[in-house]
């Protein structure tokens, strides 16, 4: 294989099969051919994050953002990696960059809310989940996290509504989470 397109396609296919270590080899080949390919750096970062190599993932996202500072998805991915590295305040900065580029990115709002939750900033997190829900009212994760915040703020009626929406929208595959929320509703 010589062209970066062939390596790119193989890397994407391997990522879709959850073969992230193999995908990294392909994305590194793309980068060797075209080191200014922001998409390849982003894809490499996603593969690294999937392997829970968050520090390396952040470095790849940083490289993508040096090449393409308006790459909103790279800002979101970097924020997620930082949040998973317990650097939630830094993650919020990344999500704010993404929102500044495109305020209609539901994931940026959702993940910013999650980072604020990790910082115990429940009051600030709720509007982020609200914005995510404005963009997609069927986002069960946003309903669930909004309910967590409302519960922490001792707003049981609001939490019950949010948890109820989560239960309506949750995938049946989320069995343990559904049971946890049902128990929470009984306790409220």
Query: Model confidence over 44-54: pLDDT tens digits?
Result: 999 999 999 99
pLDDT of residue 74 exceeding 90, the answer is: yes
Q: What one-character DSSP code corresponds to residue 35?
A: T
* Consecutive H or E run containing 108: helix 106-118
Stretch 119-136: mean pLDDT, rounded? Answer: 98
Domain boundary assignment for the chain: 103-188
* Separation of alpha carbons 178 and 47, rounded Å: 29
Q: What are residue 5's phi and psi, to 5 degrees?
A: -60, -40
- CB-neighbour burial class of residue 39 (10 A; exposed 0-12, middle 13-18, buried 19+): middle
Mean per-residue pLDDT over the chain, rounded: 95
What kind of fold does domain 103-188 have according to CATH? 1.25.40
Give the length of the chain.
Answer: 188
């Amino acid at each position: 294989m010589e062209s970066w397109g062939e390596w790119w396609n193989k890397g994407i296919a391997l990522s879709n099969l959850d073969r992230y270590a193999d995908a990294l080899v392909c994305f590194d080949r793309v980068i060797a051919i075209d080191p200014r390919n922001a998409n390849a750096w982003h894809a490499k970062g996603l593969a690294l994050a999937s392997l829970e190599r968050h520090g390396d993932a952040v470095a790849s996202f940083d490289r993508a953002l040096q090449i393409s500072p308006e790459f909103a998805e790279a800002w979101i991915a970097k924020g997620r990696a930082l949040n998973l590295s317990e650097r939630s305040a830094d993650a919020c900065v990344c999500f704010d960059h993404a929102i500044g580029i495109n305020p209609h990115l539901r994931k940026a709002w959702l993940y910013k809310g999650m980072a604020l939750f990790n910082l115990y900033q429940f009051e600030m997190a709720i509007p982020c989940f609200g914005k995510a829900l404005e963009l997609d009212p069927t986002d069960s994760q946003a309903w669930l996290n909004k309910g967590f915040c409302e519960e922490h703020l001792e707003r049981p009626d609001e939490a019950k509504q949010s948890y109820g929406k989560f239960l309506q929208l949750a995938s049946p595959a989320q069995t343990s989470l559904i049971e946890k929320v049902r128990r929470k509703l009984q306790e409220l």
